[in-house]
Amino acid sequence: MKFKFTKQFVLSLAFLLASAVAFAQLRTPVEIANEHVQSQYAAWGLTAQDVDGMTVSDQYTDPTTGISRVFFIQRHQGIPVYNAIQNISISKDGKVFHVGRRFVPNLASKVNTTVPVLDAEAAVVKLMQHLQIPYAPLRPIGQNDQGDFVFEKGNIAKQDIKARLSYQQYGSVVLLSWDISLAPTHSSDMWSARVDAVTGDLLDQVNWTVYCKVDGSAFAHTDKDCEATANHNHEAVTTSFNMAADGTYNVWPWPIESPKHGPRSMVIDPHDLTASPYGWHDTNGAAGPEYTITRGNNVHAYEDSGDTDASIDNEPDGGASLVFDFPYDALAEPVTFTNAAIVNLFYWNNIMHDLSYSYGMTESAGAFQAHNYGNGGAGNDFVNAEGQDGGGTNNANFSTPPDGGNGRMQMYLWSAGSAGEVFNVDEPASVAGPYPSSQPATGWGTGAYATMAGVTADVVIVEDALANDLFSDACEEIINAADLVDQDCIDRPWRL
Protein backbone atom coordinates (compact mmCIF):
# COMPACT_ATOMS: atom_id res chain seq x y z
CA MET A 1 0.00 0.00 0.00
CA LYS A 2 1.33 3.43 -0.94
CA PHE A 3 0.51 6.79 0.55
CA LYS A 4 0.63 10.05 -1.27
CA PHE A 5 1.25 13.13 0.93
CA THR A 6 -0.28 16.24 -0.60
CA LYS A 7 0.93 19.70 0.23
CA GLN A 8 -2.36 20.37 1.98
CA PHE A 9 -1.95 17.23 4.15
CA VAL A 10 1.59 18.15 5.13
CA LEU A 11 0.51 21.66 6.09
CA SER A 12 -2.37 20.25 8.14
CA LEU A 13 -0.02 17.85 9.93
CA ALA A 14 2.39 20.67 10.68
CA PHE A 15 -0.48 22.76 12.02
CA LEU A 16 -1.60 19.92 14.31
CA LEU A 17 1.92 19.42 15.63
CA ALA A 18 2.33 23.14 16.25
CA SER A 19 -1.03 23.21 18.01
CA ALA A 20 0.00 20.28 20.22
CA VAL A 21 3.22 22.05 21.21
CA ALA A 22 1.30 25.27 21.84
CA PHE A 23 -1.22 23.38 24.00
CA ALA A 24 1.60 21.81 25.99
CA GLN A 25 3.10 25.23 26.52
CA LEU A 26 -0.24 26.58 27.76
CA ARG A 27 -0.26 24.05 30.61
CA THR A 28 1.92 24.92 33.54
CA PRO A 29 4.67 22.54 34.68
CA VAL A 30 2.69 21.83 37.85
CA GLU A 31 -0.37 20.83 35.77
CA ILE A 32 1.73 18.58 33.55
CA ALA A 33 3.41 16.96 36.57
CA ASN A 34 0.11 16.45 38.39
CA GLU A 35 -1.51 14.87 35.32
CA HIS A 36 1.44 12.48 35.02
CA VAL A 37 1.17 11.42 38.67
CA GLN A 38 -2.59 10.91 38.39
CA SER A 39 -2.14 8.71 35.32
CA GLN A 40 0.72 6.63 36.71
CA TYR A 41 0.30 6.25 40.48
CA ALA A 42 -1.39 2.83 40.23
CA ALA A 43 1.51 1.49 38.14
CA TRP A 44 3.85 2.73 40.87
CA GLY A 45 2.02 0.69 43.53
CA LEU A 46 0.30 3.71 45.12
CA THR A 47 -3.35 4.28 45.97
CA ALA A 48 -5.48 7.28 45.13
CA GLN A 49 -5.35 8.27 48.81
CA ASP A 50 -1.54 8.20 48.70
CA VAL A 51 -1.45 11.03 46.14
CA ASP A 52 -4.66 12.95 46.83
CA GLY A 53 -3.21 15.00 49.67
CA MET A 54 0.13 15.82 48.05
CA THR A 55 1.19 19.43 47.71
CA VAL A 56 3.87 21.25 45.75
CA SER A 57 6.92 21.77 47.96
CA ASP A 58 9.00 23.43 45.26
CA GLN A 59 9.08 24.02 41.52
CA TYR A 60 11.21 25.96 39.08
CA THR A 61 12.30 26.16 35.44
CA ASP A 62 15.99 26.25 34.54
CA PRO A 63 16.51 29.36 32.37
CA THR A 64 19.35 27.77 30.40
CA THR A 65 17.88 24.37 29.49
CA GLY A 66 14.17 25.17 29.78
CA ILE A 67 13.77 22.06 31.96
CA SER A 68 11.12 22.38 34.67
CA ARG A 69 11.25 20.48 37.93
CA VAL A 70 8.25 19.99 40.19
CA PHE A 71 8.50 18.51 43.70
CA PHE A 72 5.45 17.05 45.44
CA ILE A 73 5.45 16.22 49.16
CA GLN A 74 3.22 13.41 50.42
CA ARG A 75 0.79 14.26 53.22
CA HIS A 76 -1.63 12.49 55.50
CA GLN A 77 -4.51 14.63 56.76
CA GLY A 78 -2.43 17.70 55.97
CA ILE A 79 0.71 16.57 57.82
CA PRO A 80 3.79 16.09 55.58
CA VAL A 81 5.79 12.88 55.46
CA TYR A 82 9.48 13.67 55.89
CA ASN A 83 11.43 13.17 52.66
CA ALA A 84 8.48 11.51 50.90
CA ILE A 85 9.06 13.44 47.70
CA GLN A 86 7.92 12.86 44.14
CA ASN A 87 10.07 14.91 41.78
CA ILE A 88 9.01 15.32 38.15
CA SER A 89 11.35 16.61 35.42
CA ILE A 90 9.70 18.12 32.33
CA SER A 91 11.39 19.10 29.07
CA LYS A 92 10.78 22.50 27.54
CA ASP A 93 8.32 20.95 25.06
CA GLY A 94 6.15 19.71 27.93
CA LYS A 95 7.21 16.04 28.15
CA VAL A 96 7.93 14.23 31.40
CA PHE A 97 11.31 12.52 31.04
CA HIS A 98 12.22 11.62 34.61
CA VAL A 99 10.38 10.78 37.83
CA GLY A 100 11.89 10.25 41.29
CA ARG A 101 9.47 8.21 43.41
CA ARG A 102 9.68 8.30 47.21
CA PHE A 103 6.03 8.26 48.26
CA VAL A 104 5.03 5.71 50.93
CA PRO A 105 2.59 3.10 49.52
CA ASN A 106 -0.64 2.58 51.50
CA LEU A 107 0.30 5.44 53.77
CA ALA A 108 -3.03 5.66 55.65
CA SER A 109 -2.72 2.07 56.89
CA LYS A 110 0.80 2.67 58.27
CA VAL A 111 0.46 5.88 60.30
CA ASN A 112 0.07 5.53 64.05
CA THR A 113 -1.85 8.69 64.94
CA THR A 114 -2.62 12.26 63.97
CA VAL A 115 -2.59 13.66 67.51
CA PRO A 116 0.74 14.31 69.30
CA VAL A 117 1.22 13.45 72.96
CA LEU A 118 4.28 15.69 73.29
CA ASP A 119 4.08 19.33 72.28
CA ALA A 120 6.81 21.06 70.25
CA GLU A 121 8.64 22.37 73.33
CA ALA A 122 8.79 18.96 75.00
CA ALA A 123 10.11 17.43 71.77
CA VAL A 124 12.89 20.02 71.54
CA VAL A 125 13.89 19.27 75.14
CA LYS A 126 14.04 15.56 74.28
CA LEU A 127 16.38 16.34 71.38
CA MET A 128 18.54 18.50 73.65
CA GLN A 129 18.86 15.58 76.05
CA HIS A 130 19.91 13.29 73.22
CA LEU A 131 22.52 15.80 72.04
CA GLN A 132 23.69 16.25 75.66
CA ILE A 133 22.87 19.95 75.62
CA PRO A 134 22.44 21.28 79.17
CA TYR A 135 18.83 22.08 79.90
CA ALA A 136 17.75 25.67 79.58
CA PRO A 137 14.19 27.04 79.49
CA LEU A 138 12.85 27.59 75.99
CA ARG A 139 11.26 30.89 75.09
CA PRO A 140 8.60 30.47 72.37
CA ILE A 141 8.36 33.10 69.65
CA GLY A 142 5.26 31.74 67.95
CA GLN A 143 4.53 30.16 64.59
CA ASN A 144 5.99 31.38 61.32
CA ASP A 145 4.36 31.44 57.87
CA GLN A 146 5.52 27.86 57.21
CA GLY A 147 3.76 26.55 60.32
CA ASP A 148 6.92 26.03 62.35
CA PHE A 149 6.86 26.52 66.10
CA VAL A 150 9.84 28.83 66.70
CA PHE A 151 11.86 29.16 69.93
CA GLU A 152 14.51 31.74 70.74
CA LYS A 153 18.04 30.43 70.34
CA GLY A 154 19.15 31.79 73.72
CA ASN A 155 22.36 30.09 74.87
CA ILE A 156 21.27 26.81 73.34
CA ALA A 157 21.68 27.36 69.63
CA LYS A 158 23.27 29.62 67.06
CA GLN A 159 19.92 30.17 65.34
CA ASP A 160 16.32 30.14 66.48
CA ILE A 161 15.02 26.58 66.96
CA LYS A 162 12.18 25.37 64.73
CA ALA A 163 9.80 22.42 65.08
CA ARG A 164 6.89 21.24 62.95
CA LEU A 165 4.66 18.17 62.93
CA SER A 166 5.75 15.57 60.41
CA TYR A 167 5.55 11.86 59.74
CA GLN A 168 8.69 9.72 59.79
CA GLN A 169 8.86 6.35 58.07
CA TYR A 170 10.29 3.92 60.62
CA GLY A 171 10.58 0.37 59.35
CA SER A 172 7.13 -0.83 58.30
CA VAL A 173 5.26 1.94 60.13
CA VAL A 174 4.98 5.71 59.78
CA LEU A 175 5.14 7.59 63.07
CA LEU A 176 3.92 11.04 63.95
CA SER A 177 6.95 13.10 64.93
CA TRP A 178 8.31 16.58 65.45
CA ASP A 179 10.68 17.68 62.70
CA ILE A 180 13.24 19.89 64.48
CA SER A 181 16.14 22.01 63.23
CA LEU A 182 18.75 22.81 65.88
CA ALA A 183 22.28 24.21 65.51
CA PRO A 184 23.91 23.88 68.96
CA THR A 185 26.30 26.51 70.26
CA HIS A 186 29.97 25.52 70.54
CA SER A 187 29.54 23.14 67.63
CA SER A 188 29.62 23.27 63.84
CA ASP A 189 26.69 20.84 63.61
CA MET A 190 23.30 21.76 62.16
CA TRP A 191 20.87 19.01 63.09
CA SER A 192 17.67 18.09 61.29
CA ALA A 193 15.98 15.54 63.56
CA ARG A 194 12.67 13.70 63.96
CA VAL A 195 11.49 13.09 67.53
CA ASP A 196 8.56 10.71 68.12
CA ALA A 197 5.56 12.87 69.03
CA VAL A 198 4.19 10.09 71.27
CA THR A 199 7.21 8.56 73.04
CA GLY A 200 9.90 11.23 72.66
CA ASP A 201 12.30 8.73 71.08
CA LEU A 202 14.76 10.00 68.48
CA LEU A 203 13.68 8.46 65.18
CA ASP A 204 16.07 10.06 62.72
CA GLN A 205 18.73 12.74 62.54
CA VAL A 206 20.63 14.28 59.64
CA ASN A 207 23.56 16.66 59.96
CA TRP A 208 23.36 19.52 57.48
CA THR A 209 27.08 20.08 58.10
CA VAL A 210 29.54 18.08 56.04
CA TYR A 211 33.02 17.70 57.51
CA CYS A 212 36.34 17.19 55.80
CA LYS A 213 39.04 16.52 58.40
CA VAL A 214 42.63 15.35 58.32
CA ASP A 215 43.77 14.63 61.86
CA GLY A 216 47.30 13.45 61.17
CA SER A 217 46.91 10.53 63.59
CA ALA A 218 48.50 7.93 61.32
CA PHE A 219 51.98 7.73 59.89
CA ALA A 220 51.93 6.53 56.31
CA HIS A 221 54.21 6.68 53.32
CA THR A 222 52.63 8.66 50.51
CA ASP A 223 53.05 8.20 46.78
CA LYS A 224 55.73 10.64 45.75
CA ASP A 225 54.37 10.89 42.22
CA CYS A 226 50.90 11.86 43.42
CA GLU A 227 52.23 14.44 45.84
CA ALA A 228 54.79 15.98 43.50
CA THR A 229 54.01 19.66 43.06
CA ALA A 230 55.02 19.49 39.40
CA ASN A 231 52.01 17.26 38.67
CA HIS A 232 49.62 19.93 39.92
CA ASN A 233 50.97 23.10 38.39
CA HIS A 234 48.43 25.01 36.31
CA GLU A 235 48.77 27.98 34.09
CA ALA A 236 47.36 31.00 35.88
CA VAL A 237 43.91 31.81 34.52
CA THR A 238 42.41 35.29 34.59
CA THR A 239 38.72 35.30 33.68
CA SER A 240 37.18 38.59 32.73
CA PHE A 241 33.51 38.66 31.85
CA ASN A 242 32.73 42.24 32.66
CA MET A 243 33.98 45.48 31.13
CA ALA A 244 32.84 47.65 34.06
CA ALA A 245 35.29 47.77 36.96
CA ASP A 246 33.96 45.72 39.86
CA GLY A 247 36.94 44.31 41.70
CA THR A 248 40.59 43.35 41.56
CA TYR A 249 41.79 40.48 43.73
CA ASN A 250 45.26 39.11 44.48
CA VAL A 251 44.44 35.41 44.84
CA TRP A 252 45.24 31.90 43.68
CA PRO A 253 42.91 32.06 40.68
CA TRP A 254 40.81 29.23 39.35
CA PRO A 255 41.89 26.46 38.75
CA ILE A 256 44.92 26.85 41.07
CA GLU A 257 43.67 25.29 44.27
CA SER A 258 46.42 26.18 46.76
CA PRO A 259 49.86 27.80 47.13
CA LYS A 260 51.37 24.37 46.43
CA HIS A 261 49.77 24.25 43.00
CA GLY A 262 50.74 27.59 41.50
CA PRO A 263 51.41 31.29 42.08
CA ARG A 264 49.13 34.09 43.23
CA SER A 265 48.11 36.66 40.65
CA MET A 266 45.84 39.66 40.24
CA VAL A 267 42.46 38.96 38.65
CA ILE A 268 40.25 41.76 37.41
CA ASP A 269 36.44 41.66 37.27
CA PRO A 270 36.17 37.86 37.53
CA HIS A 271 32.43 37.77 38.16
CA ASP A 272 30.06 36.16 35.66
CA LEU A 273 27.49 38.58 34.26
CA THR A 274 24.66 36.03 34.32
CA ALA A 275 25.26 34.61 37.79
CA SER A 276 26.34 37.89 39.42
CA PRO A 277 25.01 40.63 37.11
CA TYR A 278 25.84 43.49 39.48
CA GLY A 279 29.18 42.14 40.66
CA TRP A 280 30.28 40.41 43.82
CA HIS A 281 29.84 43.39 46.15
CA ASP A 282 26.20 44.18 45.32
CA THR A 283 23.27 43.27 47.58
CA ASN A 284 20.30 45.24 46.22
CA GLY A 285 20.28 44.75 42.45
CA ALA A 286 21.21 48.33 41.61
CA ALA A 287 24.29 49.88 40.06
CA GLY A 288 27.22 50.36 42.43
CA PRO A 289 28.54 48.15 45.22
CA GLU A 290 26.97 48.23 48.68
CA TYR A 291 30.19 46.99 50.29
CA THR A 292 33.88 47.64 49.74
CA ILE A 293 34.83 44.80 52.11
CA THR A 294 34.75 41.06 51.40
CA ARG A 295 30.97 40.97 51.45
CA GLY A 296 28.36 40.94 48.73
CA ASN A 297 25.38 39.15 47.28
CA ASN A 298 26.78 35.62 47.34
CA VAL A 299 29.12 35.52 50.31
CA HIS A 300 30.29 37.38 53.39
CA ALA A 301 33.88 36.32 54.13
CA TYR A 302 35.47 37.26 57.44
CA GLU A 303 38.05 36.16 59.99
CA ASP A 304 36.69 34.05 62.87
CA SER A 305 39.73 33.11 64.93
CA GLY A 306 37.63 33.58 68.08
CA ASP A 307 35.06 30.98 66.91
CA THR A 308 32.15 33.35 67.45
CA ASP A 309 30.57 32.56 64.07
CA ALA A 310 30.22 36.28 63.45
CA SER A 311 32.17 39.13 61.96
CA ILE A 312 34.05 41.49 64.27
CA ASP A 313 34.09 44.17 61.54
CA ASN A 314 37.73 43.71 60.55
CA GLU A 315 37.22 42.45 57.00
CA PRO A 316 39.73 43.35 54.27
CA ASP A 317 38.66 46.59 52.61
CA GLY A 318 39.36 47.22 48.92
CA GLY A 319 38.40 50.88 49.10
CA ALA A 320 36.32 52.74 46.55
CA SER A 321 38.25 51.14 43.68
CA LEU A 322 37.71 47.63 45.12
CA VAL A 323 41.38 46.61 44.91
CA PHE A 324 42.05 43.70 47.27
CA ASP A 325 45.82 43.31 47.28
CA PHE A 326 47.29 42.17 50.59
CA PRO A 327 50.69 40.65 51.43
CA TYR A 328 51.33 36.94 51.84
CA ASP A 329 54.47 35.29 53.20
CA ALA A 330 54.61 31.50 53.19
CA LEU A 331 57.31 31.55 55.87
CA ALA A 332 55.31 33.71 58.26
CA GLU A 333 52.62 32.86 60.78
CA PRO A 334 49.02 32.85 59.44
CA VAL A 335 48.03 35.82 61.58
CA THR A 336 50.33 37.97 59.46
CA PHE A 337 48.41 37.29 56.24
CA THR A 338 44.81 37.06 57.46
CA ASN A 339 43.63 39.65 54.93
CA ALA A 340 45.15 37.73 52.03
CA ALA A 341 43.47 34.53 53.26
CA ILE A 342 40.04 36.16 53.60
CA VAL A 343 40.26 37.72 50.13
CA ASN A 344 41.12 34.31 48.68
CA LEU A 345 38.18 32.78 50.57
CA PHE A 346 35.82 35.47 49.25
CA TYR A 347 37.08 34.94 45.69
CA TRP A 348 36.69 31.14 45.73
CA ASN A 349 33.22 31.17 47.27
CA ASN A 350 32.08 33.54 44.54
CA ILE A 351 33.74 31.43 41.85
CA MET A 352 31.90 28.36 43.13
CA HIS A 353 28.63 30.30 43.11
CA ASP A 354 29.08 31.56 39.55
CA LEU A 355 30.21 28.20 38.14
CA SER A 356 27.40 26.33 39.92
CA TYR A 357 24.90 28.84 38.57
CA SER A 358 25.80 27.91 35.01
CA TYR A 359 25.09 24.25 35.84
CA GLY A 360 21.61 24.94 37.18
CA MET A 361 22.03 26.13 40.77
CA THR A 362 20.04 29.30 40.12
CA GLU A 363 17.98 31.34 42.56
CA SER A 364 14.86 29.22 42.09
CA ALA A 365 16.96 26.07 42.52
CA GLY A 366 18.31 27.26 45.88
CA ALA A 367 21.36 29.42 45.15
CA PHE A 368 22.97 31.16 48.12
CA GLN A 369 22.18 34.84 47.52
CA ALA A 370 21.16 37.92 49.50
CA HIS A 371 19.12 39.33 46.59
CA ASN A 372 17.50 37.03 44.03
CA TYR A 373 16.92 39.65 41.35
CA GLY A 374 13.30 38.54 40.87
CA ASN A 375 14.30 35.05 39.77
CA GLY A 376 12.40 33.11 42.43
CA GLY A 377 13.65 31.15 45.41
CA ALA A 378 14.24 32.38 48.94
CA GLY A 379 16.67 35.25 49.41
CA ASN A 380 18.85 36.56 52.23
CA ASP A 381 20.73 33.25 52.39
CA PHE A 382 24.25 34.18 51.28
CA VAL A 383 27.17 32.07 52.53
CA ASN A 384 28.96 33.09 55.71
CA ALA A 385 32.57 32.08 55.00
CA GLU A 386 34.73 32.03 58.11
CA GLY A 387 38.48 32.10 57.52
CA GLN A 388 41.19 31.02 59.99
CA ASP A 389 38.31 29.72 62.12
CA GLY A 390 39.20 29.02 65.74
CA GLY A 391 36.68 26.18 66.14
CA GLY A 392 38.98 23.43 64.91
CA THR A 393 42.08 22.54 62.97
CA ASN A 394 43.03 20.75 59.77
CA ASN A 395 40.61 21.30 56.90
CA ALA A 396 37.01 22.55 56.88
CA ASN A 397 33.25 22.02 56.97
CA PHE A 398 30.21 23.34 55.15
CA SER A 399 26.63 23.62 56.41
CA THR A 400 23.71 23.57 53.96
CA PRO A 401 20.28 24.34 55.47
CA PRO A 402 17.15 24.51 53.29
CA ASP A 403 16.69 27.39 50.86
CA GLY A 404 16.39 30.60 52.83
CA GLY A 405 18.96 29.58 55.45
CA ASN A 406 22.52 30.88 55.24
CA GLY A 407 25.18 28.42 54.17
CA ARG A 408 28.27 28.41 56.35
CA MET A 409 31.85 27.54 55.43
CA GLN A 410 34.44 27.18 58.18
CA MET A 411 38.08 27.06 57.06
CA TYR A 412 40.52 26.01 59.76
CA LEU A 413 44.21 26.52 60.27
CA TRP A 414 46.54 23.55 59.87
CA SER A 415 48.50 22.12 62.77
CA ALA A 416 52.27 21.97 62.33
CA GLY A 417 53.01 19.10 59.98
CA SER A 418 49.37 18.09 59.49
CA ALA A 419 49.49 18.95 55.82
CA GLY A 420 52.22 16.33 55.35
CA GLU A 421 55.54 16.34 53.55
CA VAL A 422 57.41 18.16 56.34
CA PHE A 423 59.40 14.98 56.98
CA ASN A 424 61.13 13.63 53.88
CA VAL A 425 63.44 10.62 53.70
CA ASP A 426 66.13 11.12 51.05
CA GLU A 427 67.83 7.72 51.31
CA PRO A 428 68.02 4.75 51.31
CA ALA A 429 65.87 4.40 48.20
CA SER A 430 63.80 1.58 49.73
CA VAL A 431 62.13 4.00 52.15
CA ALA A 432 62.70 7.33 50.39
CA GLY A 433 59.80 9.73 50.08
CA PRO A 434 57.58 12.13 52.06
CA TYR A 435 55.94 11.05 55.32
CA PRO A 436 53.12 12.92 57.09
CA SER A 437 54.36 13.96 60.52
CA SER A 438 53.82 16.44 63.30
CA GLN A 439 55.87 18.12 65.97
CA PRO A 440 56.00 16.20 69.31
CA ALA A 441 54.03 17.72 72.13
CA THR A 442 57.23 18.57 74.00
CA GLY A 443 59.20 19.80 71.01
CA TRP A 444 61.96 18.32 68.92
CA GLY A 445 64.51 18.25 71.72
CA THR A 446 67.56 20.32 72.59
CA GLY A 447 69.58 21.42 69.62
CA ALA A 448 66.98 20.49 67.00
CA TYR A 449 64.43 22.92 65.60
CA ALA A 450 62.36 22.44 62.45
CA THR A 451 61.58 25.58 60.47
CA MET A 452 59.81 26.45 57.24
CA ALA A 453 63.28 26.69 55.70
CA GLY A 454 63.78 22.98 56.39
CA VAL A 455 66.43 20.99 58.26
CA THR A 456 68.43 18.26 56.56
CA ALA A 457 70.50 15.81 58.62
CA ASP A 458 71.13 12.14 59.31
CA VAL A 459 68.48 10.37 61.38
CA VAL A 460 69.20 7.50 63.77
CA ILE A 461 66.48 5.21 65.08
CA VAL A 462 67.51 4.75 68.68
CA GLU A 463 67.54 1.57 70.76
CA ASP A 464 67.22 2.19 74.47
CA ALA A 465 68.17 -0.04 77.39
CA LEU A 466 64.67 -1.22 78.31
CA ALA A 467 64.61 -4.69 76.76
CA ASN A 468 60.85 -5.28 77.07
CA ASP A 469 59.88 -1.85 75.74
CA LEU A 470 57.58 -2.13 72.71
CA PHE A 471 58.98 1.04 71.17
CA SER A 472 62.31 2.76 71.66
CA ASP A 473 61.29 6.10 73.11
CA ALA A 474 64.78 7.34 74.12
CA CYS A 475 63.66 7.55 77.76
CA GLU A 476 66.38 5.12 78.89
CA GLU A 477 70.06 4.86 78.07
CA ILE A 478 70.67 4.76 74.31
CA ILE A 479 72.72 1.66 73.59
CA ASN A 480 73.26 1.87 69.83
CA ALA A 481 74.76 5.35 69.51
CA ALA A 482 77.12 6.46 72.21
CA ASP A 483 77.58 9.85 70.60
CA LEU A 484 73.90 10.74 71.09
CA VAL A 485 73.89 12.64 74.35
CA ASP A 486 70.48 14.27 74.14
CA GLN A 487 67.96 11.90 75.72
CA ASP A 488 64.95 14.16 76.18
CA CYS A 489 62.01 11.95 77.10
CA ILE A 490 58.91 12.59 75.07
CA ASP A 491 55.33 11.87 75.98
CA ARG A 492 54.64 9.24 73.37
CA PRO A 493 56.74 6.71 71.43
CA TRP A 494 57.75 7.45 67.88
CA ARG A 495 57.12 4.87 65.19
CA LEU A 496 58.44 4.79 61.63
Same domain, 393 and 483: no
pLDDT score, position 305: 94
Same domain, 351 and 490: no
Domain count, the chain: 4
Same domain, 277 and 323: yes
Model confidence at 489: pLDDT above 50:
no
pLDDT score, position 21: 53
Same domain, 173 and 198: yes
Same domain, 75 and 171: no
Rg (CA), the chain: 30
| Lowest-confidence segment of 23-37, 61-75, 189-203, 464-478 by average pLDDT | 464-478
Q: How far is CA 57 from CA 32, 88, 265, 388, in A?
A: 16, 12, 44, 37
Same domain, 56 and 186: no
9 within a domain of the structure (yes/no)? no
| Lowest-confidence segment of 5-19, 111-125, 354-368 by average pLDDT | 5-19
Model confidence at 493: pLDDT above 60:
no
247 within a domain of the structure (yes/no)? yes
Listed in sequence order, the DSSP H helices in 264-418 are 338-358
Domain that holds residue 72: 20-100
Bridge-based pairing of strands 323-324 and 248-251 is parallel
State how far the Cα of 122 lies from the Cα of 135, in Å rounded to an integer.
12
Query: pLDDT by residue (tens digit) across 213-248?
Result: 665 443 344 444 334 444 434 343 333 344 344 799
Helix, strand, coil distribution of the chain in percent, nearest 5: 20, 25, 55
Total Cβ atoms within 10 A of residue 488: 14
Query: pLDDT by residue (tens digit) across 418-463?
Result: 544 456 788 888 877 766 665 554 455 554 444 555 667 777 777 7
State how far the Cα of 424 lies from the Cα of 447, in Å rounded to an integer.
19
Same domain, 231 and 90: no
272 within a domain of the structure (yes/no)? yes
pLDDT score, position 245: 47
Same domain, 190 and 222: no
pLDDT score, position 481: 61
Q: What is the mean pLDDT of residues 94-117?
A: 97
CB 256 within 8 A of CB 267: no
Question: Where a domain ends, among 176, 192, 207?
Answer: 207
| Lowest-confidence segment of 11-15, 84-88, 148-152 by average pLDDT | 11-15
462 within a domain of the structure (yes/no)? yes
Q: What is the mean pLDDT of residues 302-307?
A: 95
419 within a domain of the structure (yes/no)? no
Query: Residue 72 half-sphere exposure, CB side, CA atoms within 13 Å?
Result: 28
Same domain, 282 and 179: no
Same domain, 197 and 227: no
Query: pLDDT by residue (tens digit) across 174-200?
Result: 999 999 999 999 899 999 999 999 999
